[in-house]
Amino acid sequence: MELTMSSRDTPHPLDAHAVADGLGAVDRPTVSFELFPPRNPDAAPRLWATVQELAAARPDFVSVTYGASGSTRTTTRQLVRRLLRETSLTPIAHLTCVAASADDLARTVEEFLDEGVRSFLALRGDPPADGSWAPHPEGLPTASALVALLRDVERRRCASSPAQAVRAATRPLSVAVAAFPRGNAGSGSSREQDVAALLAKQQAGADFAITQVFYDVADYCELVALARDAGVTIPVVPGIIPTTDPARLRRVAQLTGVPVPQRVLDVLDAFDADEPADVARRHRAGTRMGVDLVNGVLDGGAPGVHLYTFNTHGPALDLLDGAGLGGDAPRAHSRVTPAAPDLLTVPTT
C-alpha cells in the first residue's frame, strides 16, 4: 500500500496555468522536472496523473529520459508527443549516443523535430552493466559530438526550407547537456576532466547544463567555479533528488556511483519504515534536508533547480513548496521559516 505524504489528492487540470503569472520574471528561479516513460503500459495513467500535478507548479520545462541503448525510444517519443499536444508544458527530449550510428541519431533527431520538439538533452549515455562503454563503429564518441550533430541537422533543415527557417527563428533549438559535480563515475573521469568536457559541449553549441545528482552545496558551487575559470559561461542548473526515501537514494547511488552522505542516511534510517506515522515524519525530515540544499544552491547563484521525480509528484512538490518555489510562489525566491523544532528529531528507540 502506498502512503501518500502530500495533501495533493485531486489532479489539477493541465490548462489551469496555461498563462503563468510571473513565469518570465527575471528574479524567479527556473523549476523543472525529470520524467521517464513507463515500462509497463498499465502505469501510463498514473504517470499522467503525476504530470497533471507537476504542471500546477508551472515548470519551465520537463525532461523525458531515453533508456539505455535507446530502449525507450518509442515510448519516449510517445510521451513527448502527448506532452506537446495535450499540455502547455515544454518537453526536453533526452538523446544518447549509445548503440546508434550517426545516421540513426540524425534520423531520430529529425523524427523529434518533425513532432515539434525544440529542446534536447544531449548525453553520451550510460555504460552497460559490466561498466564498459564503446561507441558504435559508425556512431558518436562524445556528448559534444551529439550537440554538434543536433546543430548540424537544424542548419540543414533551415537551409532546405524557408518556412523551417522562420519557425526556427521564432522557436530556436535548445540543447542542454550534463555536468557532474563529483566527476562522472560512469566514465571514471575526474571533475576537472568533466569541466573540460563541459567546455567542449559549450563550444559545440550547448545552451545550458543540468547536473547529476549531488547532496552538498559545496559540490555544486565548486563545480561552477571550476567551470567558470575554464571558460564555461552557460548556465549550470543543479539536478536534485528529493531526500525522502532511503531505499531510492541507495538505488540511485548504485546507478550513478554518487554516494549518499552518511548524515543523510542516518536521519532517514532512524525512522521505522513499517509505521505510517514514522514514515510521515521521515518524509518531513527528508524534505527539510532537500529544502536546505535548494536554498543553499540558490544562494550560491544557481539559476534554478531540476528535480528528479521518479514519476512521483508528492516529494518533489513538497520540496518546492518548502523552498518557496511552488505553483503559487511569488516571483522571487523566498526562504521558508525555520523548521519546527521536532522536524528533524529522530527516534531514539
Boundaries of every domain in the chain: 30-323
Cell of 124: 553520451
Q: d(Cα 189, Cα 288) in Å, to the nearest integer?
A: 32
Q: Provide CB contacts within 8 A for 75, sequence distance 6+.
A: 37, 38, 39
User: What's residue 39's pLDDT?
Assistant: 77
- Strand order through the sheet with 304-308: 236-237, 208-211, 174-179, 119-123, 91-96, 61-64, 30-35, 304-308, 239-240
Q: What letter would DSSP give residue 39?
A: S
Give the mean model confidence (pLDDT) for residues 319-327.
90
Q: At 74, is the pLDDT very low, low, confident or very high (cuts 50, 70, 90)?
A: confident
User: What's residue 330's pLDDT?
Assistant: 40
Strands (DSSP E) found in the chain: 30-35, 61-64, 91-96, 119-123, 174-179, 208-211, 236-237, 239-240, 304-308
Q: d(Cα 3, Cα 11) in Å, to the nearest integer?
A: 17
Assess whether pLDDT exceeds 60 at residue 346.
Answer: no
Q: 121: which strand partners? A: 94, 176
Q: Which strand (E) or helix (H) includes residue 250?
A: helix 246-256
User: What's residue 130's pLDDT?
Assistant: 53
Give the mean model confidence (pLDDT) for residues 14-41.
71
Per the model's pLDDT, the better-predicted residue between 339 and 243 turns out to be: 243
8 Å CB contact between 127 and 96: no
Give the mean model confidence (pLDDT) for residues 33-44.
83
Assess whether pLDDT exceeds 60 at residue 128.
Answer: no
Mean of all residue pLDDT scores within the chain: 84
User: What's residue 309's pLDDT?
Assistant: 95
Per the model's pLDDT, the better-predicted residue between 215 and 343 turns out to be: 215
User: What's residue 126's pLDDT?
Assistant: 63
Task: State pLDDT tens for residues 174-213.
Answer: 999 999 998 787 677 788 999 999 999 999 999 999 999 9
Per the model's pLDDT, the better-predicted residue between 20 and 99 turns out to be: 99
Say which range, 32-36, 64-68, 89-93, 335-339, has the weakest mean pLDDT: 335-339
Q: At 333, is the pLDDT very low, low, confident or very high (cuts 50, 70, 90)?
A: very low
User: What's residue 137's pLDDT?
Assistant: 73
8 Å CB contact between 335 and 321: no
8 Å CB contact between 196 and 183: no
In the numeric block, the cell 543536433 is attached to 150
8 Å CB contact between 332 and 27: yes
Give the mean model confidence (pLDDT) for residues 18-30.
65
Q: At what angle do helices 191-204 and 217-230 cross, to 10 degrees?
A: 50
- CATH annotation of 30-323: 3.20.20.220
> Would you state the torsion angle of the CA atoms of residues 253, 258, 263, 268, taken in this order, to the nearest 10 degrees?
-20
Assess whether pLDDT exceeds 50 at residue 14.
Answer: no
Q: d(Cα 49, Cα 311) in Å, to the nearest integer?
A: 10
Which residues are marked as active site?
Answer: 34
Q: Provide CB contacts within 8 A for 232, sequence distance 6+.
A: 195, 198, 199, 202
Quickly list H helices, 124-232: 143-160, 162-170, 191-204, 217-230
